[in-house]
Homo-oligomer: A and B are copies of this chain.
Amino acid sequence: LRENNVEEFRSLFFELHPYDQAKFFLKLDQPDRMLLYQILSPEEMANVFENIRDDKNRYKSLLEEMHPAFAAKMMEYMYADDAADVLSELTKEKISSYLTIMDAQTAKSISELLDYEQFTAGSIMTTEFVAINANYTVQSTMDLLRKEAPDAETIYYLYVIDEEKHLVGVLSLRDLIVHEDDTLIADIMKKKVYSVSVADDQEEVARKMKDYNFLALPVVDFQHRLVGIITVDDIIDVLDEEASDDYSKLAAVSDVDSYDPNAVSAAKKRLPWLIILLFLGMFTAGLIGQFEETLNKVATLALFIPLIAGMAGNTGTQALAVAVRRIATGEGTSERVWKIILKEAGTGLITGTVCGIVVALTIFIWKQKFFLGLLVGLSILSTLTVATIAGAFVPLVMHRLRIDPAVASGPFITTINDMISILIYFGMATLFMNYLL
């Protein structure tokens, strides 16, 4: 199709939305892609490249198959934040080799973006925004907008700065068009501007944007000078990333979202977790080994090991999930930690009592053994209480120690709770052995 008629292909291709162009591009094999680099201009290719955000791991190999001059030109045409995103996947040497053949000013703004630490507002912001002065009129602002519209990432918010580039006001395009041509910007701008600092965590920025329903947020440096903006589309990606990150960690997979072409690559991602969990499991086995004598006397005890350990794991995961989400939504403020733990202890006590009674009755009816039922019931009661507290306590403490609480992933809490539950169960069984025989 493509080789026959370049013109026809081009017209078909440009009818597609850039996102679909990118999807099409990624499906091509290498020779076809090489052909495309010749058919499309760097500017057109930039549009395609900006839309392969979901497959960041392919940036590197794609760049390498392009002619360096073409690649550099293409990145010049990309929004600075997207270009920085692409380059951040490369080595330091590669980056500077691309930057040196770019237009000096673009190279400068890209390399500034690359300097910001990962996951901060600075690293996701773009420098293509529209800034105006307070002494502009509506008319002169509109004139400026018409000129800058093709380059700016959004023109729906206009930021007002003073001579030192300090952010002093904000104005939406909506405000602008409803006012008379000769109105002074100073008279209609909002002086209370919500902004974030370059060093703010991207998750905080995302929360703010979501709560306040902004389409863009200005980013200021430590001297409160406007240096960039973050637009809502970047924030959607951040929220999505963070959510799937929490999800991955609860499931103990390194990265649940990236595509695995084959079984080996999938296995590689899961094995490190599994091996760690395997050794934690060996500890549990060792722990039960300490009670081998008890087990030899009453083998029936083994029947309820998975039940008790499983319940401890489940309830711990519930408490963990609630705590992790509470922290993620910013509700985990420090003063209330003890109140939260106390509440979780209450929750554990209630669920433990109910489950304990249910299990004791079931075993009593099933096995006709009163003391065995009592033992398992009491173990469930104490295990659930302790496991619930552990599930909530561990992430909250990690959060205060500034470790991402989501790394206290489901299986870890589960394994810890396995051990606690076995200690409680066999401990009690050994103590009250006389009643069980």
- A350: CB under 8 A from chain B? yes
Distance of A157 Cα from B94 Cα, bound (Å): 40
A377-405 interface with B by 8 A CB criterion: 380, 384
- A173: CB under 8 A from chain B? yes
- A295: CB under 8 A from chain B? yes
A355-397 interface with B by 8 A CB criterion: 355, 358-359, 362, 366, 380, 384
Distance of A13 Cα from B418 Cα, bound (Å): 52
Distance of A237 Cα from B329 Cα, bound (Å): 13
Q: Which residues of B contact A275 (CB under 8 A)?
A: 354-355, 358
- A36: CB under 8 A from chain B? no
Distance of A266 Cα from B415 Cα, bound (Å): 23
- A288: CB under 8 A from chain B? yes
For the side of the interface on A, what is the size category?
A: 35 or more
User: Is B248 touching A247 in the complex (CB atoms < 8 A)?
Assistant: no
Distance of A322 Cα from B313 Cα, bound (Å): 21
A260: min CB distance to chain B, Å: 7
List A residues at the B interface (Cβ < 8 Å): 15, 17, 19, 54, 142, 145-146, 149-150, 155-156, 173-174, 177-178, 192, 194, 209-213, 215, 232-233, 235-237, 239-240, 243-244, 246-248, 250-253, 256-257, 259-260, 262-264, 266-267, 270-271, 273-275, 277-278, 281-282, 284-286, 288-289, 292, 295-296, 299-307, 309-311, 313-315, 317-318, 320-322, 325, 329, 331, 343-347, 349-351, 354-355, 358-359, 362, 366, 380, 384, 410-411, 414-415, 418, 422
